[in-house]
Structures are given as C-alpha cells and as structure tokens.
Amino acid sequence: MYGIGLLKGLAVTMRNMVSPGRQFTLHQYPDRRVGLLGLAKQANTNLVSYVLREPAMAAKSLIGLATVKDRMPQHPRFRGEEFVWYEERCTGCASCAKYCPLGIIEIVTHPSGDAMQEGEKYAIDVFDIDIGRCMFCGLCVEACPYDAIHMGSGFEESTYVREELVIDVDRLRSAPKRPSTWFRPQLEGKGYQPLDGQEVSWKDVGRHQMPDDSELEDRWAKR
Amino acid sequence: MDLPEWLAFGMAGFTLAFIVINAMIMSTALYTWFERRALGRFQVRLGPNRWGPFGLLQPLADIIKLITKEDTIPDEADRPAFTVAPVVLLLPMLLVVAVVPFGEDSFLGRLNVGILFIVGVTSISTIAIFVGGWASGNKYAMLGAMRGVAMLISYEVPMALAIAGVLLLVGPALPADAEGFAGISSLALSKIVESQVLPFLLVSPLAFLVFVAAASAEMSRTPFDQIEAESELGSGYHTEYSGIKFAVFQLAEFMAPIVTSIIIVTLFLGGTRGFSPVPEQIWFILKVFVVIFLLLWVRATWPRLRIDQIMAFAWKGLFGLAILNLFVVATEIEFLRTSDGTLSTGSLWLMAAINWPVTLVSVVVLARLLGHGRMDRPEPSPSPLANMYAEAE
Amino acid sequence: MAITTEPVTINLGPQHPSTHGVFRLRVTFDGEEVVDVEPVFGYLHRGTEKLAESRSYVQIVTLTDRLDYTASMSNNLAYVRAVEKLAGIEVPERAMYLRVITAELQRIASHLMATGFLLNDLGAFATPLMYCFRERERILDMFEMLCGARITLSYMRPGGVFQDAPAEFWPALDTFLVETPGYLDDLENLITGNEIVLARTRGVGILGDELAIATSVTGPMLRASGVQWDLRKADPYEVYDRLEFDIPIGVAGDTFDRYLVRILEMRESLKIIEQCVDQIPRGPIKPDLPFNLRPPEGDAYAAVEGPKGELGFYLVSDRGIAPYRCKIRAPSFINLTPLKEMVVGWKVGDLIVIFGSVDVVLGEVDR
Ligand code: SF4
Ligand code: SF4
C-alpha cells in the first residue's frame, strides 16, 4: 500500500542485480567469456604469475575478449544423440526396433556362420537409426536384452540435410563409445562420466560381470 | 573574403547539427547496449556479450541487420504517411537537444523560451505515433495508436503543470540590459539551471514526482508502456514496420529515455551544476546517467497498468498533485520572496522543509482515494457448494 | 449527429506473443472493451488419442510427455496409474514415494512457469519470468539426474518408475528444499504486494464458485474460486493419504487469487516433498513385468491432481498389446470453458491477463 510494495519490488530486483543469490540462468556455450580471475583460475595459477606468463591473454581479458572453452554441465544419465552401439554384443534380435514408439530403427541381418557353437550369430547388414525423428525416449535402450545399444551424450548433431541424420551401421561402429548411463545403472557408481572422454569397452557395459577365462573353461567343461 | 552572413550561419548550423545528431545517435546506440546489459543483469542473465569487447559492438550488428532487412510496406498502408512517420517521431527528440545547456557555454541554441520550446516540440511525437499506427492499416497498430494519442495528450497536462511549478521557483526575468537585448526570461533553460542553488528536486519533490511519472508515460515506458504493450498488441503502432523504418522507430524510442533524462536533470537536478574540480559537462553526463539508470531499474521491475487506469491516474492523480504543487509553491513564494521577486537560499530550504511533508501526505491521501481500500484481502472461506472434507465424513 | 462506431474483430493468435502457444481467439472489441470471444482450437493437434491406439502400453508413456510439456511428470503419473488400474499392478512403496516427489517437483516447476508468464502478460518486462525460470532450472537439473531428460521425461513406467534416483539426487533435493522457501518470499516481495499488480488483478476476471463448478473447472482455478477440491485429498492416490498438507483456497476467484493459490500451493508442495524424503523406504522400484502388457478386457479411469487440474486417462483394453481406446481428460482444455464469461466486459489488457491466469498449455488443449 502507498507504493511500499512497489519499493519492495525495486529492492528485490536491485539485490538480484548486484549479487545474484543463485547462479545465472544461462550457461555460456560452447565458449565462455572470462575475466582475468577466471583465466588465472583455469591456468591453475595466481593472478600475478598468470599476467607475467601470458600478458597478451591477460590484456585481452581486460577488454572482455578472452574466451575459454566450456560445455554444458550434464548428468551422466543425459539421453543424448549418437547412439553407442556395441557390435560385439548385438545379436541382431531387433528388440530395439520393435520397441521404438516411432519405428525408426531399421535392422537387416543374415546368418553369419560365425560362432555356430553358441547357436550362430547373425551378421548386421543394415542398422539405421533415423535420429531426425528420434525423440530420445530411450525405450530402445531399455528393450535391448544384451546391453548392446546405449544412449549417447552429445547434442550437437545438426546438419544441413535431413538425410544425414540417419545414422547407419558404419557410423554406429565408428562412433566414440561413450555411453550415457541411462537405464544402465551398472555404469553408474564407478565414477564414470561420459563427458570425460574415456571410452568404455564392450566387455564393461554389460549388466553382468564378464566371467574370467578359468571360469569360462570350467563352464564349458561341465557341458 | 567574407562569406555572406546567411551562408556562414547555414554552414555553422549545419556542422553543429551534424555533430549533435550523430552524437545523439551514437549515444543512443551505446544506450541500447547499456540497457540490454543492465536489464540482463537485473534478470539474472548476461545480455549481449559476444560481439566486440563486452558486447559493445552489438548495436552496430543490430543496425546492420535492420538496414539490410527487407523493407516491407503492407498493401493496405497509406504509403507516404507510413514512410514519413518514423522520421516525424525522431525529429522532436533531436530538436530538444538543441536547446539544452550541456555546460555554461556549451549551447547549441540559446533559446529564450527553451522550456516552452521543449513542451511544444515533444508533442509532435503524438502525431507521429498516430500517423504510424493509422497508416499501417493494421488493427493492432490502430489500437496502439489510439492508446498513444489518448495517453500522450493526457499526460502532457500534468507535465506542463509540473513545469509551471518549477518556473515559479525560477523567478522573474532579468531586465533588459544596456545594449537593448531582452533579458533572459525565466523560460530559458540556462536561467532554470542558474537559479538552482538548491536542486529543485529538494525544493519541490511533488513536481519532480509528477514530472517523472508523466515523462515516463510520454516516452511509453513501464508502468505506462501501453502504446507498445508487446504482450497485448504485438508491438503496438509499429507492428507493421520493418527494416530501416523500424530502425528509425527504435532509434527514436531508445533516444527518448536519454532526452527525458536530460530534461529531468536540467529541471530538477541542477543541470550542469556541480563541484568545481570536475568540469560541468562531466557532472551533467553523470547525472543523466544516474537518471537513466533509475528509469531502467523501474522498467526492469514493475508491470504495466491498464489503459483506463493510466488515464485515471493522469486525470485523477497526477493532475491533482500538479495543481496542488502549483498552489503550494505559489503561496510560499508569495510570502517568502524578496523585494525584487527572487528567493534567497534560506527561503529555498524553508520551502523544502514545507514541501516534503506536503508531498508525503498528498501521496498517501491520493493512494487512499484511488485505492478504494481494495488492497486488503479477507480471509478465504470455503465455498458451500462442494467441500471434499464434508464428503469424507 | 451522433457518431456511431462499429465493433472491431481481431484475431488474437495463433501468432501472438501471449497466447501461450498456438491458440487463437477471435475477439470482438468495442473500442478497448471485449464484447465477444470465440476460441479456435486445434493448431497443435497431433492426434495423441489415436496414436495411443497403435502403441504398446509402455510406449504411450512417451506420448504423454508431450501433452502438457511443462508438467510431463504429472502426465506420466496419470497415465501409468490408469494402466496399473487396468492391469491390476501392485506398485512398490519406494516407487510411489519417488513418483510423489517428482510429481510435486513438477507442480512447482509448472506453477513457477505459470506465475512467470502471468507477470509477463502483465507487462513486467520478463524480470519475474527469469527469476522463475532460474528456480525451474534447478528442478529440471534434478530431473536430468533422475532420467536424463529435462522436459520430455518418460520417467514413470506402469508398475513403478524406470530407475532409482542416483546418489547425487538427494543432496540436490535437500538444498532445493532449504533454499526455495526463501526464494518464494523473494518472488512474493516482488509481486504480491506490488500495487500495480494488485490494481491489475484484484477483482479482474472473476469466476464465481457456481460457474466454476458448472463448467467443471478444476485445479488452482477452481480452488481460487473458493471451492475446496483437490484430488490429493478428496480421492487420495499413491501415498498422499499419509502426508500432511493444506489445500489453499482463494477468496473471490479473481486473477489475483489464481496467482496467490499457485504460490501457496508451491509452499505446500515443498512440505509434501520434505515429508516424502523423510518417509521414503528402501526397496524395489519396479515389479518384474513383461515389456508388452496385455491387461484383461475392461476399462479404467484414473485421475491425478495435475498442476493445471484434474488430469485423467480413460483406457479401454481388448486384451491387445495396445489400448483399444484412450481418452484424455485434459485440464487445460476444460479450464478454458468459462473463458468467455470471465473476459467479456474487460479490456484488451485484462483479456491477456485473465487468459494468462488460466494457465493453459496448448499441447494439452489440442492434444
Ligand atoms: S530413443 Fe526412442 S525414439 Fe529414439 S530410436 Fe530409441 S526408442 Fe526410438
Ligand atoms: S541393439 Fe540390442 S535389441 Fe537391438 S538388435 Fe542388437 S541386441 Fe537386439
């Protein structure tokens, strides 16, 4: 009343301007403007030694031109593009294709003649995922009984042509193996972070511990 | 060789105008950057920071973008009027700067009736807004233009009355001097600045309040931004504009806060007056900056009023306050003035001491009258028609 | 001679800054005054109900995310509850608590958005909106921890939730619970006492309790009209019967009440989450179910108190892997019913504000 509410509002905005209690809503990406302090922090030195070591960069930062690379903070469970697919694990059962709500996975296989003892493995001819229509729901990942397909963690797949958004089997083979931990709780808790860049081999992504050689021999002997 | 007088005058005038107009445009560009950065900080985001140091080149990028954009004119539009409206809106902003003293001798036109000139010239913008909205042939633009005319004309009244209150304080014109020049009348801005031994903000806060409110309505900023009201009307009277015409509209719109701040500083904050080691021009710019920031702060915080509330506020609220202010100041002067009609510094202080309580009381009374006691909220009582607790029993 | 003026008809939307999406209102103005409104729907129609008939029960969860995209969790919850009722699935305790926590977080997020946009419609140059978004961002961050997505969550599955919360979720939730009340105070300082907001919203767009009930309005809009009706209390589902919370109601059913009820509800939601965090047991989060459910023949309707109102799913099964019919009771759509009664006689600016205070999401209106 009497404009006191208005003044209170002004106080709130001013407080948020001079010292935002919480962080900014926005995150600068892919590079971030930094001041001198930020630069020194990134180089892991104190201010003075940084200025002495890299005067050019320091001067740049003073007129607000210095940038450093940065990325979005992201949880390991983030469901991203670039599916991570392990050919070694995939049997071509096409469960993933069946469970995709949009039906955008296409799989063509033929009997490979490999591994006849275990019941013959199928060779994958076609494994197309049309990520232009994918909604990254992760149901395919949930459906795969062999832990062969995982969500990726990237989100920078933009192209100029729609066709390029179809990920084919070659791209799946060569894509970096940095699976998201979505629906793969076994990957969690090991301190694994897809953004760190370390890759995970097919042996480690399974739900079950891989038996070691002696155990395997043992098992085979019993058969 | 002597130049003919008209030519010399013309050349000098042209050069000065060139400098001032460009300076205004550059400072407007700078201001857009400042406004966007500051608003960004208010809204806990960053604002433009990519292009150039601290994003300073952003206005340049904006201008290039706007100029290279296609300049569309709707079929329904009245072409000549549609084209001329942006320029007409820009004109008064630039004209006002011509008469404002930036320092004791930094003048463009030392006009004897400066303040009258300002009041007259700024009312041109009403016409520009109406022409722009009407000529677009768009219903949203038309609504914006209608609101614009109603609002701008209404707010000119309290604004002029507030100025009249200030002019009373300035005192009588100086008598004509020996060379026969008419003395500087109290309408001249330099005289107004000169007589502010005590800033008029202190002496008559009521006039300041009324003037600032009216001025922010005149430049259509929150809480009075009915003309554009982007959440209601798209963007009001310039809905149909694009390309360079839109750029000119935006220029005028962003120039308005600067010009308004300049006038406020001149009328109420002692203009170029300051303390001696720092030059007057710096003082002036500093004060203008502070006022601009305050206006921005308000803009970042408050929502807008509805059109009928705005009109009611002008006629029932500000108009009354302005009249009251005029009356109080006139009475005080009648009793306090010295024999030659001027006021001593002591009596200015006395007036300040009287006017502040008057201001507070009148604002409270006004809030009472306009608020209709609507502000308190009774305790809610559940409706008898449906009550889930009753059913559960 | 008297000057006669004609009413003007204006299309507000589908491209308009404050129709909250692609909504179209054909409004007839007499000067500034609204004489008539005629809403035009369907610009965002995607045929969700029809699509559901050719998806398996789990796959439909992904469709529900896209109904009310500001409150995917609540949509998930309403849908999976309908499936569980249909198929008679028991839900583990822990999963129920997780669902309640996420649904209440989602309610806060949705109300924050509603408040922010209402203030934006009031013309407050995006500042309150950005403050609201800042807080909502933290909720979305927590959702990202839970299920790897921020908007289209697909977190729940018939029978439970798809995955337990990671270790870092609980500390994040705790800090959120500690800090948010202070933040809400901040927001209220900025808005609730603001004379301009009061002048713009008090007594504007009144929806009486009688009309509200007659037009089957639900959610905060109904409660703002003074009707004490909340499914969480009236028909407790999940674990709501074990939690203590109040149902805030409004005084007059005007725009300000609708705003205030949302703010109060956010505070109640915080209380609920706190209790859940205290009570949540350890245990499984999902029973072992086949991926393709085949519920017995029959039908089931389950509703939850979503952020916008009663959100219900009606499913009919013919023993197939997909429902025979899926009907969605979308609160946003039904809450628009009394729009005309609320806005006629008010000005253009009020129309926008009243519409904003109804808080609709067009994904849900058009489905
Ligand atoms: S993420 Fe979802 S939409 Fe995308 S391929 Fe997998 S199942 Fe299909
Ligand atoms: S990725 Fe998994 S589900 Fe898909 S074909 Fe391979 S093994 Fe089957």
What is the DSSP track for C20-43?
SSS-EEEEEEETTEEEEEEEE--T
Cβ neighbours, 10 Å, residue A198: 10
Quote the minimal CA–CA distance from B328 to chain C in Å: 28
Q: Average model confidence (pLDDT) for chain B?
A: 79
Question: C32, B143: Cβ pair inside 8 Å?
Answer: yes
User: Tokens at residue A51, please?
Assistant: 């200025």
Q: Count contacts between A and B (CB, < 8 Å).
A: 45
Quote the minimal CA–CA distance from C163 to chain B in Å: 34
Average pLDDT on B265-279 reads 75
Residue A100: pLDDT above 60? yes
Q: For an interface test with A, which of C50, C76, C151, C163 has the most A Cβ atoms less than 10 Å from its Cβ?
A: C163
Residue B173: pLDDT above 70? no
Distance CA A161, CA A171 (A): 16
Question: A180, C148: Cβ pair inside 8 Å?
Answer: yes
Is A93 within 8 Å of chain C by CB? no
- Give CA angle at C175 (C171, C180), nearest 5°: 150
What confidence score (pLDDT) does residue C325 get?
87
End-to-end CA distance of chain C: 52
What confidence score (pLDDT) does residue B393 get?
45
Question: B42, A26: Cβ pair inside 8 Å?
Answer: no
B26-35, B218-227, B235-244, C354-363: least confident range = B218-227
Question: A25, C134: Cβ pair inside 8 Å?
Answer: yes
Quote the minimal CA–CA distance from B332 to chain C in Å: 33
Task: Please list the pLDDT of chain C residue by residue as tens digits (367 residues).
Answer: 577 777 888 888 787 777 777 888 888 888 778 888 888 888 888 888 888 888 888 888 888 888 888 888 888 888 998 888 888 888 888 888 888 889 899 999 999 988 888 888 887 777 888 888 888 888 888 888 888 888 888 888 888 888 888 888 888 888 888 888 888 888 888 888 787 888 888 888 888 888 888 888 888 888 888 888 888 888 888 888 888 888 888 888 888 888 888 988 888 888 889 888 888 888 888 888 877 888 888 888 988 888 888 888 998 988 888 888 888 888 888 888 888 888 888 888 888 888 888 888 888 888 7
Question: B383, C228: Cβ pair inside 8 Å?
Answer: yes
Residue B277, judged by CB atoms within 10 A of its CB (0-12, 13-18, 19+), counts as exposed
A53-57, A142-146, C113-117: least confident range = A53-57
Cβ contacts of residue A98 below 8 Å, gap of 6+? A143
Pick the residue whose CA is nearest to atom 2 on ligand 1.
A137
Quote the minimal CA–CA distance from A61 to chain B in Å: 9
**Chain C residues near residue B147 by CB distance under 8 angstroms:** 32
What confidence score (pLDDT) does residue B108 get?
63
| CB C355, CB C349: distance < 8 Å | no
What confidence score (pLDDT) does residue B371 get?
65
Give Rg (Cα) of chain A.
25
Ligand 1 pocket residue status of A136, Cβ below 6 Å: yes
Distance CA B249, CA B141 (A): 14
- Which ligand has the nearest atom to the CA of A94? 2
Most confident of A153-167, B357-371, C320-334: C320-334
What confidence score (pLDDT) does residue A183 get?
76
Nearest to A156 by CA among A27, A30, A31, A33: A30
For residue B364, the one-letter residue type is: V
Sheet containing strand C298-305, edge to edge, reads: C298-305, C310-317, C325-329
Cross-strand bridge partners of residue C33:
C30, C347
Distance CA C333, CA C336 (A): 6
Nearest-CA residue of chain A relative to B223?
A: A6
For residue A6, the one-letter residue type is: L
Average pLDDT on B293-320 reads 84
Best mutation site among A105, A144, A180 for ligand 1 pocket (most ligand atoms within 8 Å of CB): A105
Which spans in chain B are helix H?
Answer: 5-42, 58-68, 79-99, 114-122, 124-135, 139-170, 189-194, 200-203, 205-218, 230-233, 243-268, 280-301, 307-312, 319-336, 345-371, 388-392
Tell me: cis bond preceding A30? Omega within 30 of 0 counts: yes
pLDDT band at residue A119 using 50, 70 and 90 as cut-offs: low
Q: For an interface test with A, which of B34, B36, B46, B54 has the most A Cβ atoms less than 10 Å from its Cβ?
A: B46
User: Tokens at residue B124, please?
Assistant: 């041109």
End-to-end CA distance of chain A: 87
Is A65 within 8 Å of chain B by CB? yes
| CB B204, CB B165: distance < 8 Å | yes
**Chain B residues near residue C200 by CB distance under 8 angstroms:** 303-306, 309
Q: What is the pTM of this model?
A: 0.85
Pick the residue whose CA is nearest to atom 8 on ligand 1.
A100
Question: A16, B302: Cβ pair inside 8 Å?
Answer: no
Cross-strand bridge partners of residue C325:
C316
Distance CA C298, CA C283 (A): 31
Pick the residue whose CA is nearest to atom 8 on ligand 2.
A93
Distance CA B62, CA B35 (A): 14
**Chain B residues near residue C202 by CB distance under 8 angstroms:** 374-375
Residue A223: pLDDT above 70? no
Q: What DSSP element (H or E) covers C276?
A: helix C255-279
Cross-strand bridge partners of residue B129:
none
Pick the residue whose CA is nearest to atom 3 on ligand 1.
A134
DSSP string, A20-77: -SS--S----SEEE--HHHHHHHTTS-HHHHHHH-HHHHHHHHTT--EEE------TT
What confidence score (pLDDT) does residue A210 get?
66
Ligand 1 pocket residue status of A100, Cβ below 6 Å: yes
Where is pLDDT greater, at C138 or B107?
C138
Is C193 within 8 Å of chain A by CB? yes
Is A13 within 8 Å of chain B by CB? yes
Ligand 1 pocket residue status of A166, Cβ below 6 Å: no
Nearest to B97 by CA among B160, B189, B218: B189
Ligand 2 pocket residue status of A99, Cβ below 6 Å: no
| CB C263, CB C188: distance < 8 Å | yes
- What structural domains and CATH numbers belong to chain C? 52-365 (1.10.645.10)
Pick the residue whose CA is nearest to atom 4 on ligand 1.
A134
Please give the distance of CA B167 from its chain centroid, rounded to a whole number. 18
| CB C366, CB C44: distance < 8 Å | yes
**Phi/psi at A134 (5° precision):** -65, 145
Q: Which ligand 2 atom minimizes the distance to the CA of A144?
A: 3
Best mutation site among A83, A134, A155 for ligand 1 pocket (most ligand atoms within 8 Å of CB): A134
Is A4 within 8 Å of chain C by CB? yes
What confidence score (pLDDT) does residue C349 get?
81
Distance CA C74, CA C312 (A): 10
Best mutation site among A82, A99, A139 for ligand 1 pocket (most ligand atoms within 8 Å of CB): A139
Give residue for tokens 């021009």: B281
In a 3-state reduction of DSSP, which class is residue A9? helix
Q: What DSSP element (H or E) covers C189?
A: helix C169-191
Cross-strand bridge partners of residue C299:
C316
Residue B182: pLDDT above 60? no
